[in-house]
Structure 1
Amino acid sequence: MLFTISQRFFFDAAHTLRREIEAEGSRRIHGHTYHAEVFLSGSRDAATGMVLDLGFLRQALAEVRERLDHHMLDEVPDLGTPTLENLCLFIAHALPEPLREQLTRVRVWREALGDACELDCRSPGART
């Protein structure tokens, strides 16, 4: 059997963004509360009954959150343009290798705006 576990976190951050529509407000420094959720899939370990001890995932995500929370996203190393898509990739790549091997999905959204992006880590090119 294959199980999927997930863990959510949030962060507040500012950024700018060059866009073709809603351009003026996006070019000014502005901020959002972002929510993120990561999904890991695997078999249940017979000894522990768990796919993974969620404490390890929470610990890894706390480190990712520290790199994003209350930061200017334009200045975060290895993020690139601060889009929802790039945030999904950043979070996926920031996880330690043992967790990345089981990573199946990363979702980032802004609840207040209704915007979301989801990265399917099983798709070709998702792990690059």
Structure 2
Amino acid sequence: MVYELSQRFYFEAAHTLERDIDVEGSRRIHGHTYHAQVFVRGVPDPRTNMVIDLGHLNQVISTVRAELDHRFLDDVPGLGAATIENLCAFIYRKLEAVIPQVNRVAIERPASGDRCDYIATAAATA
């Protein structure tokens, strides 16, 4: 039987953004509260009966969160432009390097209603 587990976290960060609409406000430093959710999929280990120990998942998420929380995203190495898409991909890459069962990362900005899902299978074919 295959299970999907998830863990949520949030971070506060500022950035600028080059775009064609809302140009002036986007180019100024501004910030958001980002809500992220990480999904892990797999078959439970017969010894532990867990797909992953959620304590281990939380530890790895904490290290990634520390790279983003209360940061100026424009300066985060490996992120690129601070788009919601790049944030999803960045979190996925960081987590997947340690936890290969990660199969999806979602980020929401509730205040503006924006959401992005990075799905591993789609990324592998892109």
How would you bin the TM-score normalised by the shorter chain? Answer: over 0.9
Counterparts of residues 32-51 of structure 1 (less than 5 Å) = 32-51=32-51
Change in Cα spacing, 1:103 to 1:13, as seen in structure 2 (3 Å) is: same
Q: Is the 8 A contact 1:2 1:41 kept in 2?
A: yes
- The corresponding residue for 1:122 is 121
- TM-score normalised by structure 1 residue count: 0.93
State the shift of 1:98 in Å: 4.2
Q: 1:20 is matched by which residue type in structure 2?
A: D
State the shift of 1:28 in Å: 0.4
Q: Secondary structure at the match of 1:108?
A: strand
Count of residues in correspondence between the two structures: 126
> For the residues of structure 1 that align with 2:45 and 2:15, how far apart are their CA atoms?
41
- The corresponding residue for 1:79 is 79
Q: Percent identical across equivalent pairs?
A: 52
- Taking only aligned residues, the RMSD between alpha carbons, in angstroms, comes to 1.4
- The corresponding residue for 2:106 is 107
Q: Secondary structure at the match of 1:95?
A: helix
Q: Is the 8 A contact 2:95 2:102 kept in 1?
A: no
- The corresponding residue for 2:20 is 20
State the shift of 1:120 in Å: 0.7
Q: Which runs of 5+ in 1 are unaligned?
A: none
Q: Which runs of 5+ in 2 are unaligned?
A: none
